[in-house]
Amino acid sequence: MDTISHSIIAPKLTIFRYGLSPSKHLTLRSNSTARTNAASRSRVSAGIKIQNPPIDFSDPDWKSKFQSDFEKRFNLPHITDTFPDAEPIPSTFCLKMRTPVTEEFRGGYPSDEEWHGYINNNDRVLLKTIYYSSPTSAGAECIDPDCTWVEQWVHRAGPREKIYFKPEEVKAAIVTCGGLCPGLNDVIRQIVITLEIYGVKKIVGIPYGYRGFSDKELAEMPLTRKVVQNVHLSGGSLLGVSRGGPGISEIVDSMEERGINMLFVLGGNGTHAGANVIHKECCRRGVKVAVVGVPKTIDNDILLMDKTFGFDTAVEEAQRAINSAYIEAHSAFHGIGIVKLMGRSSGFIAMHASLASGQIDICLIPEVPFHLHGPHGVLRHLKYLIETKGSAVVCVAEGAGQDFLKQTNAKDASGNAILGDIGVHLQQETKKYFKEIGITADVKYIDPTYMIRACRANASDGILCTVLGQNAVHGAFAGYSGITVGICNTHYVYLPIPEVISYPRLVDRNSRMWHRCLTSTGQPDFE
């Protein structure tokens, strides 16, 4: 059986490009190894909208058909799909009782029907809020060549009045996968606290990602409010993390042996793909399990969401590195500071950190190709900055400029391509260039990668993690499975996992935010 990182097949995607006839489409297959490809980066250029399936715009009813298809695709999988006879019970999450319900439930399940704090199953959140009048508008996200306004609604997150699991029968498990990210402990803590409020007594943590399901030497960790009370005060993960893991059958076998019927998975695209396959395998076996994801990616590259937890903290922590680079560059004769930030396929951290600092002269991200040499290259602009300002600071995302580096085709345990070090390459090329043209340059390189991802979540991320953790539990008790929770247009929503893992969310080079970054840095076009 293949490991979990190799058992996931990405869906086929179709891209409609403005200017082509509706019958002409570009079709490609997305996977975790193609994230840094030029084809992937080009998806976010102006006038491109991913459609699945293709739309026949010559059909006068295409809009209603699109909305109908959208509603079907974003319909949330529910345990009643597999267990149609599953009976809901009154929610044990209510304001009448703030202490966990007793094991006996002698008086029946408590109810708070007069409380207007529950979410109706028909509540929806609008996915897109801007009406673009033209596909040439900055950042336009259009469905058809005329940029027709089409309402797209997704499910609102929160506690439901009826639940599909009896708390005394629940054994919940939490697993954190992939790399570290600020806020992991905050989410773990809030999931445990909310589960206990519902009345769950059996809560465990699976150590070191999916690996913990198969490694007999790794015992599950009992979790209670007392155990997690202060874990959010430090970075890292109480449960540990790892990439890859055993096969899907082995994971579900382990879940059945342990009696786990709620699984909360914290991770990025690959981890969510694994969670979706686990959900499907449980459905195939007829096992009543709710599998709920919480998107964890410091790169902020999950589709459809305003942001993911850890991102704000990463941007804030990056300020310290940028400021250090600025001081080094500003204090030296012809000083140049280079800072490499995280961002395998998306440059959100680099872009936002550059905007926040106000000290960056050049921001380089994976989505926007650039030349190092030549009359319009980065190095020529650095020469201009040295001549006019006397110093310069460069911020580069780790996935930028990979075309300049030797490709090894090596992959990590998650199936991601192992990137070359663009920061070191940029440092070496800068030194070489200035030496060749006979100009003194003092180049300093700073790589704060692991310092950023290992720190404690800031206040903004702390709030986001708290609400995400709560809503993950609400979603599981409501009977949803194969879903993830996120924030969309400032509201918290549930989304089917397949809709958020098709490909990484990327910076749109025609977006207003990227334009703002370019205005802030004053950099020219390096293509």
433-482 per-position pLDDT tens digit: 999 999 999 999 999 988 898 899 999 999 999 999 999 999 999 999 99
Task: Determine the pLDDT at residue 101.
Answer: 53
Report phi then psi at 194, rounded to 5. Answer: -70, -40
Task: Determine the pLDDT at residue 243.
Answer: 85
Q: Looking at the domain that runs over 311-455, which CATH code has it been given?
A: 3.40.50.460
Q: What is the pTM of this model?
A: 0.87
270 marked as part of a ligand binding site: yes
269 marked as part of a ligand binding site: yes
pLDDT tens for residues 205-263? 999 999 999 988 899 999 999 999 999 999 889 999 998 888 999 999 999 999 999 99
Residue 19 reports pLDDT greater than 50: no
The span from the CA of 338 to the CA of 442, in Å, is 11
What is the DSSP pairing of strand 48-51 with strand 26-29?
unpaired
Q: What kind of architecture, by CATH, is found in domain 156-306+457-501? A: 3-Layer(aba) Sandwich (3.40)
179 marked as part of a ligand binding site: yes
CATH 3.40.50.460 boundaries in the chain:
311-455
343 marked as part of a ligand binding site: yes
The band of 413, judged by pLDDT with boundaries at 50, 70 and 90, is low
CATH 3.40.50.450 boundaries in the chain:
156-306+457-501
Is residue 442 part of the annotated active site? The answer reads: no
Q: Is there a contact between 260 and 289 (Cβ–Cβ < 8 Å)?
A: yes
318 alpha-carbon distance from chain centroid:
19
Range list of β-strands (E), 112-152: 124-126
The span from the CA of 319 to the CA of 308, in Å, is 19
Q: Residues 144, 186, 299, 508: which is the catalytic one?
A: 299
Contacts of 19 (CB under 8 A, 6+ apart): 47, 145
Contacts of 24 (CB under 8 A, 6+ apart): 17
CA-angle at 240, arms to 309 and 481, nearest 5°: 60
Burial 88-126 (b: 16+ CB within 10 A, else e): ebebbbbeeeeebbeeeeeeeebebeeeeebbeeeebbe
pLDDT tens for residues 352-365? 999 999 999 999 99
